[in-house]
Amino acid sequence: DLISAHLSLPISSFFLISCLLFDLEQIEVCVEILSRVLQALEPIQLAQNYKTALQSGLNHPNDSVKVLTLTQIGRVAGHADGVTQMLNSAEILRDVIQCISIERIAVAKEAIAALSKLSNTKAGLDALFRSDLLNKLKDVMLTSDIIRYRVYELIVELSTVSPVSLGYCANSGLISQMLEELTGDDVLVRATAIEMVTSLAQSQHGRQYLAQQGIMDKISNMIIAAESDPFSNLYLPGLVKFFGSLAIMESPQQVCEKYPVFLEVVFSMVMNLDPTLTPVALDTLGVLGSTVEGKQVLQKTGEKLTSALKRMSKVAADGATELRVRCLEALAQLLTLPAEQQTDDLLLLTESWFNCLSSQPILMIRNISTQPFPELHCRALRIFTAIGCQPWAQQLMMDTPGFMEWVMDRSVGMGKEVKDCKFELVGALLSASSSQEIFGAHNYLKLKTYLNEGPYYVNAVSSVTTEGAD
């Protein structure tokens, strides 16, 4: 009744929350109602008419109220006219920064989001980095390691927007402070710093800045030093992810040639089967080999890649389930070769890699797909999908007794995901210009029929027979 009575009032019913300060259930209901009602207000109205209410919400003891308020401030900060109003409210901005230090992560996330929107303009950047607000930001960082990294998260997010925003962040000294933590004594802090640096490297200007600061060389040296560090398992995966990400965004060949230790440690991690290191190594190998340039780089490693493929095959066949899944995913990426990339040399390359897996790789992968684990079944099917449009693979499938019948047997594999994967495989088989010639008219027609019927087609005769048996 109290809520109903206040809903007839203007949106200043923000004050209603204060009335319900000690009744948590009613506060939650009020927050839910206000979150909907406030959407009807234009951001500029909020900024002009409800500054006091917004500031009250930021200082409310209930975190749900803080989240609601920060969400509304984010709307204002993302509005062209509203942001001007917000920049004239230094106290509100100070309180938003303070909210980064609130224990509940949902509050901090909304505060970071609001400040990020605010900084999409030069005026916003000036307000945050060329006023007392920067000191407030640095004060909040002193709260704890966790809070410090929340601020770094904001700084990295802002830095990736544009070279201009990166310049503001760099001049604040906060990026330099973050980079120094790469080689700090606390390995957990170091691991988090590596994640932040990897995020910063997602933009081209971010990568250029890191290169200018010598960070790539520093991370390469960290990989070398990790060999003698008993705690390297905590941060080595992050170092590998950094270079893997860098290789894909820049050039696999340039990165692997300039920092050879990167690829060396990836192969080492695949061979050692360390449960904390191998998964990221498998992912990295797959991502590298997903591009033509990456495939060529890996091919140059010769026996190292051959050994890694054989180890991956063994793990895929009888390893721990999680590693089996990661191996199969990586193999699918390594073996993928779309029609527009199918030169003679690259087709020979993928064929040779596939043959490294086993003396009878088709049967090995099919055996994995028949096991009663959908995640393994689908990953195995995706390997067949990866090679399904390549002529050498189509011929191998045709030469394997019973394989084409198995592909078109709808009773093999249950569940939506498995049916979708089988359907994708059939589509891949038909996508190649060589399909009709290699499979022959009979099989080609059956594949076309399968594709036309869709992934979930059920034979009517089979259904009637089943019903009668019941």
Model confidence over 209-247: pLDDT tens digits?
999 999 999 999 999 998 888 888 899 999 999 999 999
The answer, yes or no, to whether residue 144 has pLDDT greater than 90, is yes
Burial class of residue 180 (count of CB atoms within 10 Å of its CB; 0-12, 13-18, 19+):
exposed
DSSP state of 228: T
Q: What angle do CA 317, 318, 319 make, to 5 degrees?
A: 110
Amino acid identity, position 351: E
- Grade residue 26 by pLDDT with cuts at 50, 70 and 90: confident
Which residue would you say has higher pLDDT here, 470 or 299? 299
| pLDDT for residue 437 | 93
Supply the pLDDT for residue 413.
65
- The pLDDT > 70 percentage for the chain reads 92
Percent of the chain at pLDDT > 90 equals 64
464 pLDDT above the threshold of 50: no
More reliable by pLDDT, 111 or 79: 111
- 84 neighbors 48 (Cβ within 8 angstroms): no
- What pLDDT, on a 0 to 100 scale, did the predictor assign at position 262? 95
- The secondary element (H helix, E strand) that includes residue 415 is none
Q: What number of other Cβ atoms are within 10 A of residue 204's Cβ?
A: 12
Alpha helices by DSSP H, listed for 38-129, are 43-49, 51-58, 63-77, 80-87, 90-98, 105-118, 122-129
- Helix, strand, coil distribution of the chain in percent, nearest 5: 80, 0, 20
C-alpha span between 390 and 381 (Å, rounded): 15
pLDDT for residue 467: 45
**Are 369 and 409 a contacting pair, CB within 8 Å?**
no
Q: What three-state secondary structure class fits 342?
A: coil
When the pLDDT of each residue in the chain is averaged and rounded to a whole number, the result is: 88
Q: Cα–Cα distance between 422 and 417 in angstroms, integer?
A: 9
Q: pLDDT class for 3, splitting at 50, 70, 90?
A: very low
Which amino acid, one-letter code, is at 161?
Answer: V
| Choice between 42 and 357, residue whose per-residue pLDDT is larger | 357
Q: What is the pLDDT of residue 341?
A: 94
Confidence class for position 273, pLDDT limits 50, 70, 90? confident
Is there a contact between 115 and 154 (Cβ–Cβ < 8 Å)? yes
What pLDDT score was predicted for residue 460? 57
Nearest CA-CA partner of 454 in 412, 414, 426, 432: 426
The Cα 33–Cα 410 span in angstroms is 50
Rounded to 5°, the CA angle 143-148-152 comes to: 155
Between CA 321 and CA 326 the distance in angstroms is 9
Estimate the crossing angle of helix 361-369 against helix 374-387, to 10 degrees.
150
Classify residue 240 as exposed, middle or buried by CB count within 10 Å of its CB (0-12, 13-18, 19+): buried
Residue 286 in this model has a pLDDT that exceeds 60: yes
Look at residue 5 in the predicted model and tell me its pLDDT. Answer: 39
Non-local (6+) Cβ contacts of 368 within 8 A are 316, 317, 324, 328, 376, 377, 379, 380
pLDDT at 465: 46
| Contact of 232 with 226, CB cutoff 8 Å | yes
Domains and CATH numbers, the chain: 1-143 (1.25.10), 302-470 (1.25.10.10)
Look at residue 172 in the predicted model and tell me its pLDDT.
94
* Calpha distance 307→285 (Å, rounded): 13
Render pLDDT for 298-345 as a digit per residue (tens, 0 to 9): 999 999 999 999 999 999 988 888 899 999 999 999 999 999 999 999
Does 257 have pLDDT greater than 90? Answer: yes
How long a stretch of residues is the chain? 470
46 within 8 A of 38, measured Cβ to Cβ:
yes
The band of 90, judged by pLDDT with boundaries at 50, 70 and 90, is: confident
303 exposure class (CB count in 10 Å sphere: 0-12, 13-18, 19+): exposed
Q: How far is the C-alpha of 308 from the C-alpha of 311, rounded, in Å? A: 5
Amino acid identity, position 332: A
Joined tokens for residue 102: 């609130």
